[in-house]
């Protein structure tokens, strides 16, 4: 069930109607839990069993761990929790990849195995909710939180529908205390426009850009460098608008239900260096990887080499988190390398001059921004293209520019070239304005009802004309 479908509208009306009948906290939580399960089951009813399994296991382990004082037993319980979650993730997400890779290696060595490729359906959102439940048991193990005694609260923490299938990944320490306050339904104008903004990012920008991107990347060899560059930039915007649009809608819906979800993006394309980028892109995942993986591996507490190794491992696993495909491993590897190179560079500069800091003047800002975003764009290529040949051709055309600007021979009629260019320009202008003056929904939230209605009227017209004829599901659903 996608947020912008008529089914979701009916679902929301039904949910709000039912929540309106009950005013006490417990029945409201139960209704929210049941509707969250229904929301999830809309894709594949059988997979609800996985969520229930993960919920039961981590609730029991968390409770037991909280009561347990013996360190060894606590460690055993933690291992049990992590193993069950990672085991589930490996089976459903990575068994196919590893099976196929093993099959390929064996065939290369001249063996013909008797088994065939595994064809396992990926349960939607599995990467998000397994990471969420794991953070709960790890936090209890680290004694940062106490286990909840409410089954419903915990089940709702795992299955809360606005962020269940594509995040943001919420920590128990953030979510569970909010449940204690109860579920209060309310909507302010800012939240209303936040949801509208998310919807606009998804359907007006991301889905419209896909019309240009898909044909270019389906045959990258046919296009000159200028089109490859444009498609890569367009993809960077598409994936940002698609994912952050989903996050905006999820945060907005959660706010209506009385919950505050963490911000997931903060102008990632204004990042000046790799670590800056990861503090701005998919913040809930990068902070999860930092807190539960990088720090667990030792973080930067050991030698310089150990720090670089930890960074590389974290980013490799972060890449693999996105999908069971070697191109995501490459994506993680490239980002890991960027982080290591940046650290090496900073270390070298500080060694020469301990007072050194990156300049904050416009010239330095623009150079570092351009350099960082060049590499960000380059890394989006393996993220988008799974086929090795297509990836290699695209990267070559991206890096070695062919200076072919002949617009007459590149089939502009087939790829909606100019409207895509206009969309990218509109996105850039909005980004610069919102970066300098604040998010648009905050302004719109202050308008009078008449003015807000005027904005809604115009939005209705814009949505009508620019809602693509066919929509694609949110990209991050596949992860």
Partner 1 sequence: MPDNDKTKQVQALLRPAQLLILIAAILAGILVAQFLTPTVFRASPSDLDRNGYLLDVLASPNHHPEYVVLGNSIAMQGIDTRLLSKDIPGHPLGYNLSSTGQGLTEANMFFTALPDSVETVIHLFYVNQLQGVLVIDEQKLNAMQMFGYRMDQDLKNELIRIYGFNTDELLNQSSAQKAFKSRWALRQASDTLIRDLVRTDRDFDSLRTELYFPSPKSPRLSGKKLRKSYVDTFSKMNKPEFLIYYQGTEHLDSFIKQVKASGRNYIMVVAPLNPAGNEFIPADKLLKATEAITKITQKNDVLLINAIQLLDEKDFFDALHPSVDGAGILTRYIAEQINANAKRYDLKIGNGGEQ
CB of 300 to partner 1, least distance (A): 25
Stretch that binds partner 1, among 61-69, 307-315, 390-398, 408-416 (CB under 8 A): 408-416
Long-range contacts of 409-412 (CB under 8 A, 24+ apart): 410/223, 410/224, 410/227, 411/222
The token pair that represents 110 in the structure block: 């001249």
CB of 78 to partner 1, least distance (A): 37
Stretch that binds partner 1, among 81-89, 245-253, 300-308, 455-463 (CB under 8 A): 455-463
Q: Which is nearer to partner 1, 223 or 479 (CB)?
A: 223
CB of 436 to partner 1, least distance (A): 6
Does residue 335 have an active-site annotation? Answer: no
Q: Which residues contact 434 (CB under 8 A, 6 or more apart)?
A: 267, 440
Scanning the structure block, which residue is given the tokens 């648009």? 440
Nearest to 423 by CA among 223, 240, 221: 240
* Binding track over 257-296 against partner 1, x by CB under 8 A: ---------xx--x--------------------------
- Among 296, 454, 473, 478, which residue interacts with partner 1 (rule: CB under 8 A)? 454
Residue numbers 103-132 binding partner 1 by CB under 8 A? none
Residue 472 is a binding residue for partner 1 (CB under 8 A) = no
Q: Please state, in angstroms and rounded to a whole number, the distance separating the CA atoms of residues 404 and 234.
A: 19
The radius of gyration of the chain's CA atoms, rounded to the nearest angstrom, is 24
Q: Which is nearer to partner 1, 9 or 86 (CB)?
A: 9
Q: Active-site residue among 282, 322, 335, 342?
A: 322
Q: What is the secondary structure of 29-58 as a DSSP string?
A: HHHHHHHHHHHHHTT-GGGHHHHHHHHHHH
Dihedral sign (CA 303, 378, 430, 281): negative
CB of 439 to partner 1, least distance (A): 7
Stretch that binds partner 1, among 26-34, 130-138, 390-398, 416-424 (CB under 8 A): 416-424
Q: Residue 290 carries which DSSP code?
A: I
Residue 8 is a binding residue for partner 1 (CB under 8 A) = no
* Cβ atoms of 271 and 231 closer than 8 Å: no
CB of 106 to partner 1, least distance (A): 32
Nearest to 99 by CA among 91, 87, 88: 91
Residue 433 is a binding residue for partner 1 (CB under 8 A) = no
CB of 329 to partner 1, least distance (A): 32
Q: At what angle do helices 388-399 and 225-256 cross, to 10 degrees?
A: 110
Active site residue ranges: 322
List residues near partner 1 by CB under 8 A: 186-190, 192, 208, 266-267, 270, 360, 365, 407-409, 412-413, 416-419, 422, 435-439, 442-443, 445-446, 449, 452-454, 456-469
């Amino acid at each position: 069930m996608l947020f912008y479908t008529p089914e979701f509208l009916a679902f929301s009306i039904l949910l709000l109607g039912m929540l309106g009948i009950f005013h006490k906290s417990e029945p409201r939580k139960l209704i929210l839990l049941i509707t969250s399960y229904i929301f999830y089951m809309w894709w594949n009813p059988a997979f609800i069993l996985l969520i229930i399994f993960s919920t039961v296991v981590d609730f029991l382990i968390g409770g037991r761990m909280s009561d347990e004082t013996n360190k060894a037993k606590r460690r055993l319980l933690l291992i049990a929790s992590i193993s069950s979650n990672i085991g589930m993730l490996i089976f459903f997400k990575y068994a196919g990849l590893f099976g196929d890779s093993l099959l390929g290696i064996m065939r290369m060595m001249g063996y013909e195995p008797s088994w065939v490729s595994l064809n396992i359906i990926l349960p939607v959102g599995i990467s998000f909710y397994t990471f969420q439940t794991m953070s709960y048991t790890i936090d209890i193990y680290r004694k940062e939180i106490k286990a909840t005694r409410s089954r419903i609260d915990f089940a709702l923490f795992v299955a809360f529908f606005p962020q269940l299938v594509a995040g943001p990944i919420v920590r128990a320490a953030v979510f569970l205390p909010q449940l204690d306050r109860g579920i209060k339904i309310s909507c302010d104008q800012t939240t209303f426009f936040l949801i509208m903004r998310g919807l606009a990012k998804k359907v007006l920008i991301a889905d419209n850009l896909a019309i240009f991107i898909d044909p270019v990347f389906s045959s990258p060899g046919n296009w000159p460098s200028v089109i490859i560059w444009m498609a890569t930039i367009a993809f960077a915007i598409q994936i940002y608008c698609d994912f952050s649009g989903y996050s905006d809608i999820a945060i907005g819906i959660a706010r209506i239900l009385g919950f505050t979800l963490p911000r997931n993006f903060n102008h990632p394309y204004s990042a000046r260096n790799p670590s800056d980028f990861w503090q701005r892109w998919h913040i809930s995942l990068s902070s999860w990887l930092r807190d539960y993986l990088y720090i667990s591996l030792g973080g930067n507490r050991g030698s310089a080499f150990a720090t670089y190794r930890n960074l590389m491992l974290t980013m490799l696993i972060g890449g693999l988190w996105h999908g069971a495909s070697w191109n995501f491993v490459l994506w993680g590897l490239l980002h890991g390398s960027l982080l290591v190179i940046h650290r090496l560079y900073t270390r070298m500069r500080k060694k020469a001059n301990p007072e050194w800091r990156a300049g904050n003047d416009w010239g330095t800002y623009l150079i570092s921004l351009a350099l960082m975003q060049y590499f960000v764009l380059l890394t989006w290529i393996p993220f988008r293209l799974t086929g090795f040949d297509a990836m290699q051709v695209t990267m070559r055309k991206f890096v070695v520019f062919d200076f072919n600007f002949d617009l007459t021979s590149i089939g502009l009629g087939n790829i909606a070239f100019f409207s895509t260019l206009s969309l990218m320009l509109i996105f850039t202008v909005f980004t610069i304005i919102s970066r300098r003056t604040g998010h648009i929904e905050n302004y719109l939230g202050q308008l009078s009802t008449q003015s807000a209605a005027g904005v809604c009227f115009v939005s209705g017209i814009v949505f009508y004309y620019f809602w693509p004829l066919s929509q694609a599901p949110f990209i991050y659903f596949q992860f």
